[in-house]
Each structure stands twice: as structure tokens, then as C-alpha cells.
Structure 1
Amino acid sequence: MQITPIEAIALVGILGVGAQWLAWRLRLPSIVLMLLAGLLVGPAFGWFIPERDLGEIYKPLISIAVALILFEGGLTLEFHRLGEGRNAVRRLVYIGAPLGWLLATLAMLLTMGLPWQVAAVFGGVLVVTGPTVIAPMLRQAKLRRSPAQLLQWEAIINDPIGVLIAVLALEIVLVVQGGLSTGEAVWVLATGIGFAAAVGVLAGLGVARLFQRGLAPEYMKVPLLFVMVIAVFAMTDALLHESGLLAVTLMGMVMANAKLASHSELHRFKENAALLLVSGVFILMAASLNFASLATLNWKAALFVVAVILVVRPAQVLLPLLGSSTPWRERILVASTGPRGVVMVAVSGLFGDKLVEAGIPEGTLLAPLAFVLVLTTVILHGFTLAPVARALGLSGGDKPGVLILGGSAFGIALAQALQKIEVTPLIVDPNFRNITAARQQSIAAFHGDILGEAAEHHVELIGYDVLLAASDNDAYNTLVATDLGQELGRTNVWQVQRAKENMSRHALPPQLGGQAINGELSHGEFQRRMAGGWRVRVTHLTEKYDLDTWRQDNPKALILMQRTARGDVTFLGPEQELDRTRDCTVLALTPPAETNESADTLRSQSDI
């Protein structure tokens, strides 16, 4: 049964976003669920076949989606964020990409015995590690900033480079097969690559200048950017196929380093768009698989896949990084992580057809071989990246973390209570006196502005699930909560009550600041209570000593946080009920009388 294009687009959206949401709920790699969903509705049951149900627009949609994904990736590549990793990225691009091409070509020749023409073209495609799959994997694995940036930069920069290497190899093959003269091939390549690079850089500079001079209103910046990206891709791709990927990547990189005032807003919108595009692309890719084409592969193909994962990828990373300052743990992690993405599948199918047209029938093997590689590496690295990163000490870890803005007496007391329940706290404060007080209590602390560039290099936000803005500056609390709400999630960002919150003229719209914690106390009120002997107390609730009993023993206490039996940590709002799940732990602000040792305390037998 054939479905309409509108139904097909709706189905792709539901499956893609649904798989991402389900993966988040189940804490599984989202890429694996997206591929599984596409395989089920496509080749398994035949409900949705992209080429049949979408028609001729199917492949152009894939091309535009990949171009937008690469542009969004380029928009994240800010040179000042690289820091010490700049040299490592250069090595992986300048040395790693050509080395990967050579090793992959040799691996195909030795394991599968295919003609050199096929091996050279596919070896170039294998340089691409797949930015479409790296981003979801990094988000799922909670990787630390340094190795995450290394993987992201390598994937995004090498993606168009790998495609261009494959284009170069294909043009050489066509010359040998009699399609073009050597001079014509060199001219096509040089003009195509040069034109793409020039257009990408000039477009990035032009759009950046347009935004900086205020020649485009805020509401038109994102639509204008989308149109420009598609136009740049179409213009350059018309001269040399796949060179548009280089152009849009360079355009994004130029804009990322132009220090635009609207950069964060543009990036966040593009990040959302990229998530939708990645979801759609993987559903389409999996649904378009033809099981019959996989039957053309044999045990030699399996041997080649093993060689790529265990030999080619490690050598492509470890050899260029010899003698570099990159820590050995990061080298091992990057070397053992090389998922391939949709770009490789799309390019392999196209170039395979061109090889067949040139009289090389083995070109038909490229498309199914590419899909097997994508499927194998995505599943393998999707499940192994997080545990390998944890084993190497390069992830946020399994312990939840709480970021506390402000090293006041309350902030320090809360951090000490969190340590008792094995939650990792970090106090951030620009006041060195507060930082000193926190460190004297053996609490991790960062001296500086959490929104500053120093924090980007020294604070691993990926290790913290919840933020409490509790400094003595209400405006600063609101600014930090609003800014980090985009990264941590609005439901995970909390803030102490602003001193003038209840005055209508000082009220803020709901999209600014964080959620108010239970009691709706201001920073000053928290400090006064701490000075008056109030303490942050930890109590473990059980079946014998439940919430109702605890409330009878502590009628004046304010429950601030809870940690469920599952391990999730969250603050409680003014009207939010405590999760009554058994074996949960509560952190409460209790008055002096309720903090003393008493019969009530002895009854619980569960206080920490």
C-alpha cells in the first residue's frame, strides 16, 4: 500500500522524534532506535518506501538535509573554544584524512580483492566519520568537553574533505577509463573546489556583515540564513557534485567565528533544526534499504568491516597524534569511536552508479557495503561509547551533579548535604572569599563567571544535571538561569526567590529565570535562617519511616530536594508534591529545634 507524500513526511517526523524521545526515556542510543524504526517500516513490513512514496524529491531532500546539518555543525566550530586541542584537530585533518584514505583503500584491496578503482573511491568516502551520528552519541554519552570537541571537529571538517577525496578518486578513475583527459579532470576539480571554498567563505562573511550592521531584522535572520545555506549549496554543487558540502561547512565556520551578537540564538535554533533533520535522514536511510542488495555481500565484506573498525580507524587516529599533547585516554577514545553516517551512504550510492556506467560492475557493491558499515558502527559505538568513556574517566559519570551558583553559607551547607547522598556538587562564585570558604569544606569550587570563556574550558557542564542560582545578585541569578536553561533544560534550572518578586512592577515573564524552589525564600532570607541555626538535613525515607511520619516530626521544615530510588535528583517547587516512591532521600531546611538530637531523630534511624 502506497502512502501519500504528506503522510510519508508525517510518518518520518513521528518516527524520528519519537525514537529520540524514547531513547531519552530509556537511556539508550537514539541512533540505534531510529535505524530500527526505519528498518521496521521500510524493508521489514514495506509500509514506507522512500523512493516509491516520495518520488523524485527523495534524494534532493536528503542532500539539502545533509547540507543544513553540516552548516549547523560548522556553526559550532569556534576556534577560541579549541584551546589545546587545536593541534590535535589539525593532525587528524591534515595527516589523518589522507592516511585514512590510503589505509581504507589497502584494506579493501587485501580483504575483498576488488578493483583498485572501486577501492580508491570507497576509501575516500571512508574518511568521513559522520557528524550526523556523532552529535546524538555525544549527547547520550555525556562526554567531557575535550574529547567531545575533538570528535565533533574531526567529523564536521573531514566530512566534506572525505567526499572531495572520493570525488578526486572518481575523476581519476574516469580519466583512466577514457571519460576525461588529465587536464580536463584537473581543471574540473580545481575550479569546483576553489569555487566552493570561495563562495562558502564570502557567503559567511557577507551574512555576518549583514547581521553586524543591523541590515536584517531579528525575525528574518534565521529564515535568511536557511535560504542562503540552500542557495550556496545549490550554486556550488552545480559546478562540482558534492562540493556544496565544503561550501556550507566553511560558511558555518566563518559565521561561528564572526562574534555575532545573535550567534547563540541562531545556534540554538539551528541545533533544533539539526535534531529534526538528523532524525528524518536516518529514518529515510534505513527505510530505503533493500535487503536483496545485501545478499550480494559475502564473508569478505564482513572481514573488511572488521578491518576498518579494528585497524584502519585506530591507525588513522593514533599515528597522527603521536608526539602530540593529547592525553592518551582521549587518543584511545577517539581511536575507538568512528561511526559512519548518511553522507557515506548517499555518496557511495551515487559514485557506485557512476563506476558501473564507466564499465566497472563491482561499483554496485558500494551502496550495500556502505549501509552495512553505517549499521555496524552506529550500533557498536552507540552502545560502547558511554561505557568506554566512563572506563577512561572521560564522561560525566553515573553520579548526578548539581551546580550551585553562589558560595554563601546556604550554598555550602547544601553542597555538604549533597555529598552525603553521593551527588557531586560544584559551587561557582566570582567572589574569591566564598570560593575559599567552600574549598575549606572540601567542596569543589570554580572562581569566576559561569558564563565566561574561562568556565567554558574549566567547568564540565556535562557532569551536572541541575542548577540552583543562589548568589546574592538577583539579576545575575536570572541571567545565568535563563542562559543555561537552554543547555540543562528548563525543568532542571532553579533559582532562589528574587527580593522584589512579589511587586508587580518588578515581575518578570516566565521565560526568564529559573523555577522557584520550595518556600520561595530570597537569598537574604536563606542567609538569615542559616545564621539563626537552621541547617540542611538529609533524611532517608523508607516504608517504616515514611513522608507522613517525617512531616509530623518536622512540621516547620522546608523540603528543598529529593533523590529518588532511581537516582534522579531534583529540587521541589512551592506547590510541587514529593515523589512518594519508597526509599527516596529528602534534603530539607530545618529549624534549630528540629535539628537537635531527639526522640524523633532516633525514630527515623535513616538520617545521614
Structure 2
Amino acid sequence: MSTAAETAALLSPVETVALIGVLGMGAQWLAWRMQLPAIVLMSLAGLMVGPAATVLLGQAVVDPESSFGDLTRPIVSLAVAIILFEGGLALKFSDLRDTGSTVRRLVFFGGPIAWVLGSLAGYYIAGLGAGTAILLAGVLVVTGPTVIMPLLRQSKLGGRVGKALKWEGIVNDPVGALFAVAAFEVLRVFVSEGSPLAIVAWIVFAAMVGVLLGVLAGHLLSRAFRNALIPEFLKAPIILVSVLACYGLAEAIEHEIGLVAVTAYGMTLGNSRFASLRDMRRFKENIAVILISGVFIILTAGLTPEVIMSAFTWQTLAFLIVMLFVVRPLTVFVSTFGELNWREAALVGWIAPRGVVAVAITGFFAQRLTTLAENGEPLLAGAERITALAFAMVFVTVVAHGFTIGPLSRRLKLARSGPAGVLLVGANPWSVGLAKVLKDVGVSVIMADTDIRRLRPAREAGVQAFTGEVLSEAAELRLDHALFSTCVAVSANDYYNALVCRHFGPELGRDKTYQLSTSDKEGDALGVPDSTRGRTLMRSGRGYDTLIRDHYRKWVFHKTELTDVYNMERFKAERPDAELVAEVAQDGNVFFLGPKRAPKGEPGMTIISFGPELNPKVETPPPTSGQPPSNPPLPKE
């Protein structure tokens, strides 16, 4: 049997690629399963097969330089190009208008401030060369949306602060990358020892060429899509190939302007209008997840023990402290002065976790800066250390902010203190009635549907509405998950309802996801299996069709407060036909009823039921079916 070191030496490039894919996707899946930041597990996986294996076994299990040789840099370059294109594709100008002045200030005013302050910290505290510090600070402007979103849900942080943190992360992804690209272009031309005027002219020219190429490619492709010149099954592959072609063409014109071109390409395509844009965006997101995982494993495994140990110095510690406790808070307080109160500014100034994009871009430019610094250029001193510094920044911010965002937001009274509301998926006459009665008893409700016309009655009733597909990546970013802790799928499609419940189950818990009965026939073998669906709302056999039928038979929702006199037994006796939907406690928590989930029926609870309309002529409605008017009246609703 061969030793581990011998096995590592025998790994072919194909085996290395396979192992990188397994490690990257395995870390992503485990992070989802354990509700942990994926970046932490991917880092551990890369370190174990790279530097840790070198120390323990004498040889790395995954050594990108040995496996891929001169192809390592092109592989990483193409992957980063696609990642930046995907980031540009997600940046829509209409979103910038809708995010509010706080987010625009954080990005367009706070971004440059953070860049300048971070550059000073890198130069004076971390001991980097001026050029290296400027480039690293530009990358660290990025706050990862894939990291911040789980933190916002975990801390129940919504409102203005949650919106500011979420959209800052989304918009900053391409902005921070462009900062780094601009810094590298300046440094690359600067070390060529040309005249200052020629340097500035060439940088401006190269940037214009890159932007023009990207914008032109975006317009041409969007026009081809709108004019149906490309069939549906070829659209996604053509976008992928066109990104690579755009990057390659830009690089052929001038080295390192390819990143500018693909970012401009993504922004142009993302802001164009054609029918398949949503499907294209989802395809690119899937590709980006794979590439980010792969690049992260490659960069982490490519670190040497010496580079990692070089990060464990007092300079690194001081740099991290200044970035967390001086640069970020000062940036937020200055850029949002007059917009946020001191509590909101304090929380936003503390929470800024970095993500995988920051490390991927840092590793990409670290290789190039190291090559430029081979002649001992003092401007680029410390280029070999910036990847380790970026890793340190990511680890510290993810851990520190992940453990403190909840307690700090509660301490500052910014987290949601009351019970979370309900997400109703599927707008129809019955669900709109349910939303109205839930709102009347003080339960926060969000109604979601893909058709804005079906949502009109809910909006007119003052119910918050979300137009879009709740299963999409866009909903992950635009739907405030901090506002609900329960999901009820009430569309006409049983299989879609089950899919929605499975989607929200890991986040909310399966006991907090409900859907209508799969079929009007109890025990229907052709329905959705119990193992793949949400909990049944109301009783089995009460499906969508019968509820809509009863709605048009003038059945309505009722809310009834139980007391010591009017208890649950009396309610059931006087309303035998009513369907029990939910029970709302005095503190505002709502419990949806169904098979094996009978109401507690305690005094002070409010029962929401669906049944025949009460007699409107009587001030205090009499009992429904079969009860004589002489019986004691129902409680006032």
C-alpha cells in the first residue's frame, strides 16, 4: 500500500480537478446543512489538502502549481472573469435607485473613504508597499452578500439597517473589484517607468477600450436575444462562451483590461431587457458558485506554510484591529452622517463580513503583483503577503460579526423584538381573505406571487406584497427574510406548494412550513408524498378547489377571542361547520392548525376560522348552521 505522500505525488491533473470539485461542493453542501458560512469550511478544506498536508505528510495533496503548471494563472484568470461578469450581471441601475440614499452613500461616498483609509492602514501598519496597500484596500471594500444574508436572518435584523447591509454587499461586489483593477492598471504602468502624462493617458485609454468592448458585446448579445436570433437552448452556453471571448479579446488588445471588459459586459447585459434574462442569471449564478468554490480551494491549497506563518505577526493583528475598529466605523459615520442615528450607524459600522470574492480577487492579483515586484520594486513590497492578509480578514470578520450581530442588534434595540410574521405564497381570493384577517389580529403578513394583478386586492387591503418568484436568487436578495418565521404555500399547484415548503424548510424549520391539503380526496395515492411536502394546513382533504368553491358560496374568515365563558368547546358546538385555520396567542405568535395540531383553546387566544357567513342583521352574530336564534350569542368579533 502506498503512503499518503506517494498517493499525492501520483495525482494526475484530472484527479486534482475532481478532488477540487468534490472539496468545493462538499464544503458548500456541508455549510448549507450545518447553517455555517461556506467560506469557513472551504478554507479549512483547502488548508487541509494544501499547507496542512505539507506540514504533516511532507507533500501537499493538492498542489496547483505541480498539477497545472503554467495553466494555473489562466485557469484562475478565466474563473475570476466569469465571477466578475456574474457580479456585474446582478448590478441593475434600477436597483440603485430603489435602495435609498443610505446605500448610495455607503457605496459611492463610503467606498472611496474606506479605500483611502484602508490604504493608509496597509502602508503604515501592515508594512506593505504603497501600491500593494492600495490594491489590497480596494479589494477589502467588498462585503460579501453570501455571508451577510445568513447573518441578517439569524439576527432577525430587518428594516433600514438590514436593507443597508444587504444592498451594500450586493453593490460592492463589482465596485471593489473595479477598485482593484484600476489600482493594478496604475501600478503596472507605473513600474514601466514611463512619463507621468503617458501613464495617465494609457490608463484612461485602456479603461475606455475595456468598457467600450464590454458595452458593445452586451448590446449585441441582448439585441440578438430580443430578435430571436438565438434559440433558447443555446442562450446560456453562448453567454458563457461570449464572456470568455470578450475577456480573451480584451487581453489580446492590452493585458489586464479583460476584467474591466467582462464587468462592463455583465452590467450592460444585466440592465438590458429580454425575456430569458432571469434564466440566464440563474445559470450564471450556478456557474459562479462552482468557480468560486474551485478558485477558493486552489488559492487556499496553493498557500505555503511560510506565507501563512508570515500572517501571524503583530503587524497583521494591528492591521485587523484598525480595519475593524477604525476604518469601517469611521467610514460609516462619515458617509451616513444625517441619514442614520447613532445606534444604526454603530451597528452598520461594525458589521462588514468579507466573503469569497475578496479572497479570489486578492489571490488573482497577488500572483501578478509578485511577478511585477521581482525586480525589487519598493512600491510593491509585501505582494506575497496580501492573500494571507485577505484570508485573515475574512476569518476574523466572519467569526466576530457572526457571533456578535445578534446580541449587538438586540442591545441597540434594532432587531425585531416582536414575533415574526407569515409569508403567504400564492395570491387568490381565499389567501387574500386569510391575509386580511391575520393582519386584523396584529400578525405581520407578506403575500408573494409572480402575478402583480393577483396581488392587487392584497395591496389594496394594506397587506405587504412581494411580486416575484420566491424560489429565485432574486428573492433571496430582495425579500426581507427577517420579517417572517412561518411560510404557508396556498397556490393552486400542490407540487409547487411542496417545493416552496422544501425550499424554506431548512431555514425556518419544517414545523414552520405549511401547505394546503394535496388533494380534495383524503389519502390520494397520486398526491405529493408526506416526506416531500410541508405540514397540512387545516384538515386533510380540504384542498384548493373546495376552499375556492366555499369562498364563492359566501364562506368568510372569522376571528374569535376565547374567554373563560366562551371556551373552545362552546365555539365548536356553535360552529360545527367552521374550518379551524390558526390560533393567535396574546403575544402575537400564530400557530397554524391541522391534523394532530388541535388548538390549545386557552382564554385570550384568538381563533381564526373559515366558515359560513354570520347573520349581519344581528349586532352580536348568532350561531351558524342548525342553531336556533334563542341560543346565547357569539362573542363580538
TM-score (norm 2): 0.69
2 CA distance for matches of 1:22 and 1:76? Answer: 26
Aligned partners of 1:125 and 1:165 also within 8 Å? no
Partner of 2:574: none
Residue type at the aligned position of 2:137: L
**Residue 263 of structure 1: CA displacement?**
0.8
Worse-matched range after superposition: 265-274 or 102-111: 102-111
Distance in structure 2 (CA, Å) of the matches to 1:514 and 1:345 = 43
Q: Distance in 2 between matches of 1:166 and 1:392?
A: 43
Shift of 1:202: 0.9
The corresponding residue for 1:318 is 333
**Which of 220, 231, 237 in structure 2 is aligned with 1:206?**
220
Alignment of 1:130-529 (within 5 A): 133-139=144-150, 141-142=152-153, 144-172=162-190, 174=191, 179-297=193-311, 298-323=313-338, 325=339, 331-336=345-350, 337-339=352-354, 340-360=358-378, 362-384=382-404, 393=414, 399=420, 401-406=422-427, 408=429, 425-427=445-447, 430=454, 445-446=463-464, 460=480, 463-464=483-484, 467-468=487-488, 470=490, 474=492, 494=515, 518-519=540-541, 521-525=543-547, 528=550
Structure 1 vs Structure 2 CA RMSD: 5.1
Matched, 1:4 2:18: no
Give 1:255 deviation, angstroms: 1.1
The amino acid of 2:52's aligned partner reads: A
Cα offset, 1:6, TM superposition: 1.8
**2:99 partner SS:** helix
Question: Cα 1:245–1:464, aligned 2, differ >3 Å: closer, same or farther?
Answer: farther
Partner of 1:85: 99
Q: Which amino acid aligns with 1:402?
A: L
Q: Aligned equivalents of 2:164 and 2:545: distance in 1?
A: 35
Q: What letter corresponds to residue 38 of structure 2 in structure 1?
A: S
Structure 1 range deviating more: 456-465 or 286-295? 456-465
Structure 2 residue 113 is the aligned partner of structure 1 residue 99: yes
1:42–1:288 contact (8 Å) kept in structure 2:
yes
Q: 2:138 aligns with which of 118, 127, 139?
A: 127
Report deviation, 1:203: 0.9
Displacement of 1:559 in angstroms is 10
- When residues 514 and 263 of structure 1 are mapped into structure 2, their CA distance, relative to the original with a 3 A threshold, is farther
In the TM superposition, what is the alpha-carbon distance from 1:194 to its structure 2 partner? 1.2
Which residue identity does 1:204 align to in structure 2?
A: G
Identity over aligned pairs, percent: 29
Q: Could you say what secondary structure the match of 1:426 adopts?
A: strand
Stretch moving more, 198-207 or 325-334: 325-334
Distance apart, 1:431 and its partner CA: 6.8
Structure 2: runs of 5+ lacking an equivalent: 1-7, 54-59, 522-526, 528-532, 562-576, 584-589, 598-606, 613-623, 626-637
Distance 1:461 1:230, change over 3 A: same
C-alpha deviation, 1:162, in angstroms: 2.7
8 Å Cα contact 1:535-1:590 kept in structure 2 = yes
Q: Deviations over 1:282-311 (max 9, x none)?
A: 222222221212333531222122212222
- Mapped to 1, the partners of 2:420 and 2:131 lie a distance apart of 46
Equivalent position amino acid for 1:274 in 2: A
For residues 305-361 of structure 1, the C-alpha deviation after alignment (integer angstroms, 9 at most, x for no partner) is 2212222233334323334x4676665454330514320232133213312324436
SS in 2 for 1:261: coil
- What is the CA–CA distance in structure 1 between the aligned matches of 2:253 and 2:111, rounded to whole Å? 24
Structure 1 alignment gaps of length 5 or more: 440-444, 501-506, 508-512, 539-555, 563-568, 580-586, 597-608
Give SS of 2:230's match: coil
CA 1:246/1:226 → structure 2, altered by over 3 Å: closer, same or farther? same
Alpha-carbon spacing, 1:456–1:287, altered in 2? closer, same or farther (3 Å): closer
Task: Determine which structure has more spread, i.e. the larger CA radius of gyration.
Answer: 2
**Structure 2 Cα separation of the partners of residues 431 and 97 of structure 1:** 38
After superposition, the C-alpha distances for 1:503-552 in whole angstroms (9 at most, x for unaligned) are xxxx9xxxxx99997526124436628967999999xxxxxxxxxxxxxx
Structure 1 stretch displaced more, 94-103 or 303-312: 94-103
SS of the equivalent of 1:319 reads: helix
Bigger mean CA offset, 101-110 vs 83-92: 83-92
The alignment's TM-score, normalised by the length of structure 1, stands at 0.72
Q: Is the 8 A contact 1:561 1:571 kept in 2?
A: yes
Task: Name the counterpart of 1:541.
Answer: none
Instruction: Give the number of equivalent residue pairs.
Output: 541
Name the CA shift for 1:487/1:317 in 2 (closer, same or farther; >3 Å): farther
Provide the residue aligned with 1:71 in structure 2.
85
Tell me the distance in 1 between the aligned counterparts of 2:282 and 2:591: 25
